[in-house]
Every structure is written in structure tokens, then in C-alpha cells.
């Protein structure tokens, strides 16, 4: 099992550009999450999904979009990148809401 994989590992964007952060899990987990981690802060939930076709906003959804067309994949789309979106992004998955989350390795994004 690869677990949770994320691509890319690093990316530099210019202000106004768009990109998609990819996340895939091979554990057949129903729940998937996107978090951002800003320096000196904990993890803030951007979006989450409780199953294919179902997504909902977290604490900090503005400037992002998600989709969940399959159980395995949960891409995060940044439209019109802004410097405030400079952060480390983590994708995670869990079997149910009770179960622990498994995290991907993270994507470090810089917007200049």
C-alpha cells in the first residue's frame, strides 16, 4: 500500500496563476481531507469529503475548490493564486469519522 500520495512536492506559482494539487489514497477510505499549515500554526481544514460525489467546506475554503469523482482521488484546485495561499498543503484520509487520519507527505506551495 502506498497510503496517501500527493503531487507535486513543491511548486512556485505567480500571482493569478491556477493549479491543481493531486491527492490519491489506496486504502479504500471513505473520508478525505485537505489541510493547510501556515508557519507557527496548526492544521486548518480547507475542504473535506465523506464519499465520492460529496464534498463540504472546512474552516478556510475561500480561494479553493475540490471534487471527488472517485473514492481514491481528491484534487484541490487553486484559482487565481494569491500570496496568502503560500503554505504547506496536506491531504489525509480516514475510513470513517471515528478512525484516525492518514496523511500524505505534503505539498509546499509558494505564491510570488
Partner 1 sequence: ILNVEQSPQSLHVQEGDSTNFTCSFPSSNFYALHWYRWETAKSPEALFVMTLNGDEKKKGRISATLNTKEGYSYLYIKGSQPEDSATYLCAFRSNTNAGKSTFGDGTTLTVKP
Tally the residues of the chain: 112
Question: Quick one: 5 or 86, whose CB is closer to partner 1?
Answer: 5
Rounded to the nearest 5 percent, the helix, strand and coil shares of the chain are 5, 50, 45
Is position 50 an interface residue for partner 1 (rule: CB under 8 A)? yes
Count of residues interacting with partner 1 (CB under 8 A) = 24
Dihedral angle over CA of 64, 70, 72, 77, nearest 10 = -20
**CB of 21 within 8 A of CB of 32?**
no
Question: Quick one: 26 or 56, whose CB is closer to partner 1?
Answer: 56
Taking CB under 8 A as the binding criterion, the range among 7-15, 18-26, 37-45, 66-74 that sits at the site for partner 1 is 37-45
Q: Which of 13, 21, 25, 35 binds partner 1 (CB under 8 A)?
A: 35
Dihedral angle over CA of 45, 101, 86, 44, nearest 10 = 30
Q: Which of 10, 59, 84, 112 binds partner 1 (CB under 8 A)?
A: 59
Interface contacts to partner 1, rule CB under 8 A: 31, 33, 35, 41-45, 48, 50, 56, 58-59, 90, 97-106
Amino acid at each position: 500500500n502506498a497510503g496517501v500520495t500527493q503531487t507535486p512536492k513543491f511548486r512556485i506559482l505567480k500571482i493569478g496563476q491556477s493549479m491543481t494539487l493531486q491527492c490519491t489514497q489506496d486504502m479504500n477510505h471513505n473520508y478525505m481531507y485537505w489541510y493547510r499549515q501556515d508557519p507557527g500554526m496548526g492544521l486548518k481544514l480547507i475542504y473535506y469529503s465523506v464519499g465520492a460525489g460529496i464534498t463540504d467546506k472546512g474552516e478556510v475554503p475561500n480561494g479553493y475548490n475540490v471534487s471527488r469523482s472517485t473514492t481514491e482521488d481528491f484534487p484541490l484546485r487553486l484559482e487565481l493564486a494569491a500570496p496568502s495561499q503560500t503554505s504547506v498543503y496536506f491531504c489525509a484520509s480516514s475510513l470513517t469519522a471515528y478512525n484516525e487520519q492518514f496523511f500524505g507527505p505534503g505539498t509546499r506551495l509558494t505564491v510570488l
